C-alpha cells in the first residue's frame, strides 16, 4: 500500500505542476461560489383547503402520533374506497431497531368527510374504539387520536407517501465474504446538485468513474442548480440517485418538517421514476435531527428511516465500515468530505484507509466548493488507477455495501 500511496502523491504533484503553468484566472474564480452551498429555503408553504373530497384522501399516509405507546413509532395507513365509503388500513412499518410493526390493529374503520378533513371511527383488535380527526392543510394532515372512555388524546401529523415507496426487506447476513467481496468498495457521493456538477460530473465520466447523486428534490432546476434533464442524463450515464431532503433547510425539524423532508423527497424521486431507498441527511439539519450519534435515531425519526430507507447516510457512524455493511452501520453511515478545502495529506490518509481489505468507504464531494474545477483531478486519477488495477471496486450506491456477499 506504500507504493500506492507514493503514486497518489506523484499524481497530486504532477497536477500541482500542471496547475502552476495555467493562467491565474482559473485559480482566481473566487470563494463566492461557496455561498451557493446549502441554501436556506422554507418548507412547502401551507395552503388551507376548505373543502376536502374523499378522493383526495385515498392513498398511503405516514403518520406520527405524539403520545403514549405511539410516541416512538410511526403508522403507515392506506386509505381506500373499495367498500363504498372511506376506510383505513394498517400497513407494516419498522421501529427504530428495525423490527416489523403491524400498526394500530384496525379491524374496522369508517371515515366521514367533514369540513377540511376526515373524521375516523376505528375498532381495534384489542377491543378498544378510537376516534381520529384529520385536517388537510396543503399536503399534510394534522389531527388527534382519542379513545373515549379513557383520557387518551394525542396530537398527530402525517404526509402522503408515493405508492411506489415500498418498505424495505433485507436478506440474510452471509457467514463469510468471498475473495472478490474482500476487495475494498468505494462510493463517490456528489451532493446538492449545484450547477457546477455540469463541469464536475464529466470529469468523473472521463475517467470511467460514477457514483451517487444526493438530490434536494425541491431545489432541482432552481437558480444555481442542475436540472431534472441533467439528472436524467447522469442517471443514464450510470449514476444512482439518493434523496437529500426537499429544501435542504437549516432546521431543527418539527415532526411535520421531518416527515415532509424525508418521505416527501423520497416520494418526489419515486414520482419522477427514480424510486430509491437511499436517504442522505443534509448537513444543515440541527439539534435532534443532526444525527451524529446512533442514540439520536432511537425514536420515531429512526422508525421513519428504518421503514423507508435501506441506507441512511448521516453522521452517526464512521465514514469507513467493514463489509458487508451491518444493518446498524447502514443507519447513519458517514462520509469523508474530500472537497471543502480538505488538506491533501488528510485526503491521502483517508484514501489509504479506504484501500484496506473488506472496507466500504464513502467519499463526498461538493463541486461548488472547489477553488478550481480541476482541484480534485489528482484524486479522481488515483481512484481510476486503483479501479483499473483491481485494487478497489467502485459502488454505484451505498446499497451495494449492504448486499455485498448476500
Ligand atoms: Zn447537502
Given a cut of 60, whether residue 351 has pLDDT beyond it is yes
CA 215 to ligand 1 centroid distance, Å: 8
Tell me: the pLDDT tens digits for 129-177?
999 999 999 999 999 999 988 889 999 999 999 987 866 555 555 556 7
In angstroms, what is the span from residue 156 Cα to ligand 1's centroid?
A: 29
Torsion of CA 4, 10, 12, 13, to 10 degrees: 160
Q: Distance from the CA of 80 to the center of ligand 1, in angstroms? A: 37
Structure confidence at residue 174 (pLDDT): 52
Q: Are 63 and 74 in contact (CB under 8 A)?
A: yes
Residue that wins the pLDDT comparison between 17 and 213: 213
Residue 47: pLDDT over 50: no
**Distance from the CA of 236 to the center of ligand 1, in angstroms?**
23
**Distance between Cα 139 and ligand 1 center (Å):** 24
Question: Nearest-CA neighbor of 268 among 330, 215, 224?
Answer: 215
- Count of CB atoms situated within 10 Å of the CB of 8: 23
List phi, psi (to 5°) of 124: -105, 160
Instruction: Quote the CA–CA distance of 338 and 173 in Å, as a whole number.
Output: 31
Longest dimension (CA), the chain: 81
Pick the range with the lowest mean pLDDT from 33-47, 252-266, 345-359. Answer: 33-47
> How many whole angstroms from 194 Cα to the centroid of ligand 1?
10
- pLDDT of residue 343 exceeding 70, the answer is yes
**Structure confidence by residue, pLDDT tens digits, 356-396:** 999 999 999 999 999 998 999 999 999 999 999 999 999 99
Identify the CA nearest to 353 among candidates 322, 317, 395.
Answer: 322
Determine which of 80-84, 193-197, 219-223, 224-228 has the lowest per-residue pLDDT on average. Answer: 80-84
Paired residues of 280 in beta bridges: 313
Tell me the three state secondary structure of residue 393: strand
Average pLDDT in the 310-330 region? 96
Centre of ligand 1 from the C-alpha of residue 1, in Å: 32
At CA 405, angle to CA 401 and CA 406, rounded to 5? 95
Contacts of 265 (CB under 8 A, 6+ apart): 215, 216, 217, 218, 243, 244, 245, 246, 279
Please compute the mean of the pLDDT values over residues 243-267 and round it to a whole number: 96
Say which residue the cell 448521516 belongs to.
314
* pLDDT at position 48 over 90: no
Q: 63 near 75, Cβ under 8 Å?
A: yes
3-class SS of residue 253: coil
39 CA → ligand 1 middle, Å: 9
pLDDT of residue 124: 96
pLDDT digits (tens, 9 = 90+) for 97-138: 999 999 999 999 999 999 889 999 999 999 999 999 999 999
Task: Tell the residue number behind the cell numbers 468471498, with chain if given.
Answer: 178
Determine the pLDDT at residue 170.
52
Residues 6+ apart with CB under 8 A from 103: 75, 76, 77, 90, 91, 92, 93
Work out the percent of the chain whose per-residue pLDDT is above 70: 84
- The residue-averaged pLDDT of 36-40 equals 38
CA of 375 to the centre of ligand 1 (A): 20
Domains in the chain and their CATH numbers? 2-36+169-403 (3.20.20.370), 54-161 (2.40.128.20)
* Residue 168 vs residue 322, higher pLDDT: 322
Ligand 1 centroid – CA 203 distance (Å): 20
Collapsing DSSP to helix, strand or coil, 402 comes out as: helix
- Report CA(220)–ligand 1 centroid distance (Å): 13
116-145: b (≥16 Cβ within 10 Å) or e: ebbbbebebeeeeebebbbbbeebbbbbbb
CA of 245 to the centre of ligand 1 (A): 9
Relative to beta strand 85-91, strand 75-83 is: antiparallel
Within its chain, how far is the Cα of 218 from the centroid?
Answer: 14
C-alpha cell at 286: 440541527
Q: In which band, very low, low, confident or very high, does the pLDDT at 35 lie, cut at 50, 70 and 90?
A: very low
Higher local confidence (pLDDT), 214 or 150:
214
The whole-angstrom separation of Cα 39 and Cα 366 is 13
pLDDT above 90: percentage of residues in the chain: 77
**Centre of ligand 1 from the C-alpha of residue 247, in Å:** 10
**Which SS3 state, helix, strand or coil, does residue 71 take?**
coil
Reported as a single tens digit per residue, the pLDDT across 169-209 is: 555 555 567 777 899 999 999 999 999 999 999 999 999 99
List Cα–Cα distances, 18 to 72, 145, 382, in angstroms: 56, 66, 16
Contacts of 21 by beta carbon, 8 Å cutoff, 6+ apart: none
Of the pLDDT bands very low, low, confident and very high (cuts 50, 70, 90), residue 88 is: very high
Amino acid at each position: 500500500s506504500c507504493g500506492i500511496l507514493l503514486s497518489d502523491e506523484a499524481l497530486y504533484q504532477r497536477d500541482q505542476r500542471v496547475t502552476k503553468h495555467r493562467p491565474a484566472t482559473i485559480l482566481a474564480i473566487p470563494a463566492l461560489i461557496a455561498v451557493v452551498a446549502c441554501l436556506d429555503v422554507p418548507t412547502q408553504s401551507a395552503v388551507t383547503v376548505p373543502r376536502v373530497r374523499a378522493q383526495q384522501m385515498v392513498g398511503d399516509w405516514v403518520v406520527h402520533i405524539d403520545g403514549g405507546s405511539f410516541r416512538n413509532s410511526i403508522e403507515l395507513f392506506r386509505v381506500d374506497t373499495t367498500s363504498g365509503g372511506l376506510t383505513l388500513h394498517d400497513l407494516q412499518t419498522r421501529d427504530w431497531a428495525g423490527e416489523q410493526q403491524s400498526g394500530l390493529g384496525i379491524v374496522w374503520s369508517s371515515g366521514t368527510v367533514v369540513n377540511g378533513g376526515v373524521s375516523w371511527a376505528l375498532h381495534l383488535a384489542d377491543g378498544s374504539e378510537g376516534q381520529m380527526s384529520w385536517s388537510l392543510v396543503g399536503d399534510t394532515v394534522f389531527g388527534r387520536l382519542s379513545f373515549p372512555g379513557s383520557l387518551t388524546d394525542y396530537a398527530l401529523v402525517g404526509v402522503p407517501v408515493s405508492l411506489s415507496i415500498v418498505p424495505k426487506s433485507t436478506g440474510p447476513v452471509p457467514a463469510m465474504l468471498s475473495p472478490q467481496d474482500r476487495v475494498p468498495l468505494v462510493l463517490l457521493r456528489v451532493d446538492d446538485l449545484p450547477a457546477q456538477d455540469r463541469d464536475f460530473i464529466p470529469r468523473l465520466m472521463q475517467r470511467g468513474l460514477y457514483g451517487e447523486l444526493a438530490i434536494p428534490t425541491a431545489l432541482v432546476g432552481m437558480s444555481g442548480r442542475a436540472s431534472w434533464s441533467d439528472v436524467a442524463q447522469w442517471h443514464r450515464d450510470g449514476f444512482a440517485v439518493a434523496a437529500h431532503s426537499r429544501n435542504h433547510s437549516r432546521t431543527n425539524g418539527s415532526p411535520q418538517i421531518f416527515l415532509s423532508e424525508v418521505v416527501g423527497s423520497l416520494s418526489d424521486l419515486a414520482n419522477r421514476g427514480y424510486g430509491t431507498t437511499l436517504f442522505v441527511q443534509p448537513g444543515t439539519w440541527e439539534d435532534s435531527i443532526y444525527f451524529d450519534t446512533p442514540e439520536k435515531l432511537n425514536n420515531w425519526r429512526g422508525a421513519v428511516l428504518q421503514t423507508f430507507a435501506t441506507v441512511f447516510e448521516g453522521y452517526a457512524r464512521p465514514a469507513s465500515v467493514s463489509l458487508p455493511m451491518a444493518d446498524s452501520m447502514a443507519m447513519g453511515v458517514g462520509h469523508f468530505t474530500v472537497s471543502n478545502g480538505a488538506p491533501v495529506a488528510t485526503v491521502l490518509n483517508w484514501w489509504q484507509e479506504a484501500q484496506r481489505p473488506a472496507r466500504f468507504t464513502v467519499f463526498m464531494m461538493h463541486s461548488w466548493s472547489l477553488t478550481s474545477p480541476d482541484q480534485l483531478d489528482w484524486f479522481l486519477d488515483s481512484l481510476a488507477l486503483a479501479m483499473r488495477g483491481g485494487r478497489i471496486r467502485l459502488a454505484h450506491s451505498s446499497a451495494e455495501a449492504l448486499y455485498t456477499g448476500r
